[in-house]
Structure 1
Amino acid sequence: MSARRTAVVIGGGVSGLACAALLARDGFDVELHDQGEVVGGRAGRWAHDGFTFDTGPSWWLMNEVFDHYFRLLGTTVEAELDLVRLDPAYRVFFEGDPTPLEVRSGREAVAATFEGVQPGAGKAIARYLDSAHSTYELAVQRFLYTTFESFSPLVRLDVMARLGRLGRLLTQPLESFVSGHVQDQRLRQVLGYPAVFLGSSPRRAPALYHLMSHLDLVEGVFYPQGGFARLVDRLAELAEREGVRIVTGSTAVSIDTEAGRGRGRTRATVTGVTVRGDEGESFRPADLVVAAADLHHVETELLPPELREHSDGWWERRDPGPGAVLVLLGVRGLLPELAHHSLFFTADWQEHFDVLHGSGDPMPDPASIYVCRPSATDPSVAPEGCENLFVLVPTPADPGIGRGGESGGGDASVERIADAAIAQIAAWAGVPDLAERVVVRRTIGPQDFAEDLNAWSGGALGPAHTLQQSAFLRGRVSSGRVDGLHFAGSSTIPGIGLPMCLISAEVMLKSVRGDSSTTPLPEPLTHRAPEASSA
């Protein structure tokens, strides 16, 4: 007699939900456990007095990645979500400049915008975007969808022919690469800011990541009506449709193993996960465990020291990426001064980056901040005649900054950062009475990320994409110490962001299958019955 192999997924964020659905479709009997009362992880939602806020991701890029994932499960983005392409993609406010810059997507629109700011920059951005496109295509075909558990699949003519250029892009900072194409500081900031979405800075991120400009400047920026939590809803529904049992309010206490049965250099074999819920602790047996939670938390809290991949010294040398203070504002009256996405750049933004990465003084004021106004596109997120604002102020990854709260009730340092951001938006965007019009306010600080999401050092995004933390240097997708233990999410390959979390789930499945290919899996995902375990 035989039974389907069992799998337990730890963490119900985007990567955990995506992993669970793929494993179930591949023949596993899957349980997903999340410590929260609802799934979503960083991609959460909060509703109050008629306002509905996304509390995490708010930029939709790489639409093809989402569509590919949905097609693996026999559906499409169009069937699951109502996507709107934003125009303008975003608006940029510059310190000391009264005229914001409208950034529209599409090569012609971008060339015209750049030419209008700096004569000659139109041709320069065309060359830059050509390079971004070719680099992005190579990344998709060879680097994003691979486990890096074997390097032989990377020995391809297209990779070998570009080794020299790839080497330069990996060792040259994004900042200097951008400076080689445009001279105007405002345009440099537009091209350099995507590094922040990678948890890094233009001076620290490799120039390879200029590929991000192909995504926002050419392919465009989208928004799912109903908010990003709608994506979480769809992922959970798809997982349950595949047979996944989702258990919330269930905290993983330990990843349990059996010593002496590991293969190769592994020291043990996974046997399951111990979880704690309302009725106490229970053991959930599993042939396979996927830890889709923060990797630092998994290693330091759920595994014994002898089964960890990395030492304390290794973690001390790593960069957890920035923290953040999030400010959720319900505002009375309309705010046409702000686009759906607005960026506020200080003249000396390096001062802010120095603070984020531990080499500068306390938080600068003003700071370079990001504001999302989803009510510009989606009337469902705010009462009629009101606006919904999501403000992100990058901070050091330091739980000591404190927790947020409602109606100004967070820790003093968090609320001071929030007050400064509101005042800055009011002054730069020309909304002098903004603070007086706020009717709903909630803040979220680094300590919230650390305690509620087990985020390493209270980081808001995940480990920074520096040279030492990119591609195969970022981490393994399968444990080298515990057979049957795999990892997924923003703290492992391929990296930070919703698209990367979906790809991470597919890379995890490839590792389980022993698939060393570099390209996306064929659509739809074909059931490959795993080896049955004795029952």
Structure 2
Amino acid sequence: MPQTHTTPAKPTAIVIGAGVAGLATAGLLARDGYDVTVFEKQHQVGGRAGVIEDAGFRWDMGPSWWLMPGAFEHFYKLMGTTVEEELELVHLNEPAFRMFTEDHPPLDVTTGTQNLLELFERLEPGAGQKVQQYLAGMETDYRLAIEQFLYTNFTELRGLTTAQILRRLGRLARKLTQSIESDVAAHFDHVQLRQLLTYAAVFLSSAPKITPAFYGIMNYTTLIEGVAYPMGGFGTFVDSLHRLAVDAGAQIVTGATVERIHAQANGHPRRHVSSVTYRDATGTHQQTADIVVSCADRQHTEAQLVDDQRAARPKYWKRRNPGLSSVLAYLGIEGELPELAHHSLFFSQDWDPDFTAVFPNDRTKASTDRSTFSRSLYVSRPSATDPSVAPQGHENVFLLIPVPAMDDGIVGDLNHPEDAETTAIVDQAIELVGQRIGVPNLADRIVARHTVGPGDFQDRFNAWQGNALGLAHTLAQSAFFRGANTSKHVDGLYFAGATTVPGVGLPMCLISAENVIKRLRNDTTTGPIPTPLQPTAARIAHNR
């Protein structure tokens, strides 16, 4: 009799959250051969990278810096496409960004080695050669991070004992144990140069005094590789991730809140995920899965979703630093604001009190001061580059005002009545910006305004202590210290996103999705997966 061959059923995967990490994970899993369903609590995809539209304005809710371009290009190639095919990128360099330091004239920063050499030499004689040497060292560290530290799950110690690492062991030890603040201060004296090279810590949800000097690699990607912007806003990037995931076969379900991750023993000592319970407008439902990838906040996942109390790990989370939170303001301004660049950074002359306000000395205790905020803040004006994000004759302006992470914090006006503290913080920040740029009537020109606070991050994204970006990149929360992307107590449960490895930011979220694939494949290499991604899930299912 002729033999009948049957194709094994696709292994099933549930992804929790349709933010950048969730959409990227869904796309890669689907392309790898999994039957993927994504459950998203909100009614739109994007998570922190969502979009707000009102009165002809379109604001990106969160991410606004396109950095580490190689990570984006690699992800798109995994999905069988390219950045150029998916997006219209514009490189910003006139200037890349502008700095407003208290008691100093505005400083325009143009990227590229020669431009930086001239800028540093002009502000501090002798600093030109120093910054050239500094950035050359950071380039080597950056390449090392790509090849050894980012695209890995640290499952084998031998990955940390390569000849490449051993040759640089002394430098690595110094850069990991020294803060970026002290490292930069050892080379440069001018306050604006120091601030230029250390503010990257804020985009790592941290502060210069507690961020390892190794993260100076951010200066290489910002100042040498340069800054870009996708025309139409970062929502177009999210749209492309959504489209690619769906085209690969993933099903995206919005308005569906996952309430429980179930696991069962099946005769084994360790339990394995079996299903999730989710709630939507029609009621409560249960869906089975072979694996679950949570791209939601990890602390929320372990403490609130997993039906195994061992997963909560309260002692572990008590020692973690949640990073900073933010009050975000989305403003529509009448008239032009050429005084602002596409990206503008506003710094106090002495910014230590700003960081002390946001990062109290004892970070094991959540802040309770609802009116505290940093007067060193970030302003984006995408309408400087992209006329589609604001009505003609108006400007689109976004303010990121660092505040402490806190439980049950203040909220903005998106989903609640705005708290008085939120209003006061935004009003003061607008006044500060207006004074620094010489536009004292800035507040009077606002025709549209929306706000978000720590309480919104907690409510919308279940963010631990209302953090805005993810866990702070301290030494104890970097690389293999940040925590594995798989559960210690439940097999088949994986993590991706800003609260797991490798860390905070859009490129890191894309890499975290790839690292889930590597974990599922038992791939212990330390570099990126060869492109395009070749399916393996059917073989895995056949061998189960």
Shorter-chain TM-score range? over 0.9
2:27 to 16, 21, 29: 21
Query: Which letter does structure 2 place at the counterpart of 1:412?
Result: A
Query: Which letter does structure 1 place at the counterpart of 2:381?
Result: R
Alignment gaps of 5+ in structure 2: 1-5, 362-366
Q: Deviations over 1:191-229 (max 9, x none)?
A: 000011001111000011011110111000100001111
Alignment gaps of 5+ in structure 1: none
Query: Counterpart of 1:518?
Result: 526
Residue 304 of structure 1: how far off its partner (Å): 3.1
Change in Cα spacing, 1:406 to 1:146, as seen in structure 2 (3 Å) is closer
Query: Counterpart of 2:342?
Result: 340
Q: Does 1:507 align with 2:476?
A: no
Q: Does 1:90 align with 2:97?
A: yes
Distance 2:25 2:129 in 1: 43
Q: Does 1:434 align with 2:442?
A: yes
Residue 348 of structure 1: how far off its partner (Å): 1.6
Q: Count matched residues.
A: 530
Query: Counterpart of 1:532?
Result: 541
Distance 2:229 2:373 in 1: 30
Query: Which letter does structure 1 place at the counterpart of 2:327?
Result: V
Distance 1:345 1:305 in 2: 46
Query: Counterpart of 2:392?
Result: 384
Question: Is the contact between residue 322 and residue 394 of structure 1 (CA under 8 Å) also seen in structure 2?
Answer: yes
* Secondary structure of the structure 2 residue equivalent to 1:477: coil
Query: Which letter does structure 2 place at the counterpart of 1:286?
Result: A
Query: Counterpart of 2:84?
Result: 78
Distance 1:467 1:407 in 2: 36
Change in Cα spacing, 1:251 to 1:126, as seen in structure 2 (3 Å) is same
Q: Does 1:270 align with 2:278?
A: no
Query: Counterpart of 1:495?
Result: 503
Distance 2:454 2:539 in 1: 41
Distance 1:323 1:169 in 2: 26
Distance 1:198 1:436 in 2: 33
1:58 to 58, 64, 70: 64
Q: Deviations over 1:339-394 (max 9, x none)?
A: 00000000121111111112498766770010000000000000001000000000
Query: Counterpart of 1:228?
Result: 234
In the TM superposition, 1:126-145 aligns within 5 A as 126-145=132-151
Query: Which letter does structure 2 place at the counterpart of 1:245?
Result: Q
Query: Which letter does structure 1 place at the counterpart of 2:288?
Result: P
Distance 2:223 2:414 in 1: 36
Question: Is the contact between residue 307 and residue 482 of structure 1 (CA under 8 Å) also seen in structure 2?
Answer: no
Q: Deviations over 1:258-294 (max 9, x none)?
A: 125557xxx2011121111111111111011101110
* Secondary structure of the structure 2 residue equivalent to 1:42: helix
Query: Which letter does structure 2 place at the counterpart of 1:94?
Result: T
Question: Is the contact between residue 352 and residue 363 of structure 1 (CA under 8 Å) also seen in structure 2?
Answer: no
Distance 2:395 2:106 in 1: 20
Residue 409 of structure 1: how far off its partner (Å): 5.2
1:199 to 196, 205, 212: 205
Q: Does 1:452 align with 2:452?
A: no
Distance 2:320 2:528 in 1: 29
TM-score w.r.t. length of structure 2: 0.95
Question: Is the contact between residue 263 and residue 275 of structure 2 (CA under 8 Å) also seen in structure 1?
Answer: yes
> How much identity, in percent, do the aligned residues show?
48
Distance 1:355 1:363 in 2: 10
1:467 to 475, 487, 490: 475
Residue 164 of structure 1: how far off its partner (Å): 1.6
Query: Which letter does structure 2 place at the counterpart of 1:91?
Result: R
Change in Cα spacing, 1:533 to 1:247, as seen in structure 2 (3 Å) is farther
Q: Once structures 1 and 2 are overlaid, which stretch shifts more, 396-405 or 113-122?
A: 396-405
Question: Is the contact between residue 49 and residue 60 of structure 2 (CA under 8 Å) also seen in structure 1?
Answer: yes
Distance 1:290 1:121 in 2: 47
Query: Which letter does structure 2 place at the counterpart of 1:498?
Result: L
Q: Does 1:287 align with 2:294?
A: no
In the TM superposition, 1:305-324 aligns within 5 A as 305-308=308-311, 311-324=313-326
Q: Deviations over 1:434-454 (max 9, x none)?
A: 000000001100000000111
**Moved runs in structure 1, 4+ residues, more than 4 A?**
260-263, 360-366, 406-409
1:357 to 356, 359, 363: 359
Q: Does 1:146 align with 2:152?
A: yes
Query: Which letter does structure 1 place at the counterpart of 2:59?
Result: F
Query: Counterpart of 2:410?
Result: 402
Query: Which letter does structure 1 place at the counterpart of 2:274?
Result: T
Q: Does 1:165 align with 2:171?
A: yes
Q: Does 1:421 align with 2:429?
A: yes
1:108 to 100, 114, 121: 114
Query: Counterpart of 2:375?
Result: 367
Question: Is the contact between residue 352 and residue 364 of structure 1 (CA under 8 Å) also seen in structure 2?
Answer: no
Distance 1:484 1:408 in 2: 37
